[in-house]
Copies of this chain bind each other. A is one copy, B any other.
Amino acid sequence: MILKLLSEKERMYGYEMVQRVKEMSHEKILIKEGSLYPTLHALTKEGYLTTESALVNNRTRKYYSLTNKGKGLAAPAVDELVDFQQTLKLIFGSKPALS
């Protein structure tokens, strides 16, 4: 999801990602800090993301962007999830439950 978000918006910070996913998913997917920040750090360490820090309203913000390598990771990863969603639909395709 991080890769998906950053494919659609060049520069985002962690907290913003949490809000964006919450909004896009109609409050259904709530990314926790305990999941987000370690993942962001790992992706950065592996060279998929770059960061720049900023101070906004006297609060620290750390912006993340995809590197070229990151774009290379994002494209197939997003495709895979699109595919997975469609596969899930094959099995849990929403036929409304008849009483």
Q: What residues of chain A have their CB less than 8 Å away from a CB belonging to chain B?
A: 1, 4, 21, 24-26, 28-29, 78, 81-94
Contact = CB atoms under 8 A, between A and B. Distances in A.
Contacts of A26: 87, 90
Contacts of A92: 4, 78, 81-82, 84-85
18 contacts: A1-B91, A4-B91, A4-B92, A21-B91, A24-B90, A25-B90, A25-B91, A28-B84, A28-B87, A29-B87, A29-B91, A81-B88, A81-B92, A82-B92, A82-B94, A84-B92, A85-B88, A85-B94
Contacts of A94: 82, 85-86
Nearest to A24: B91
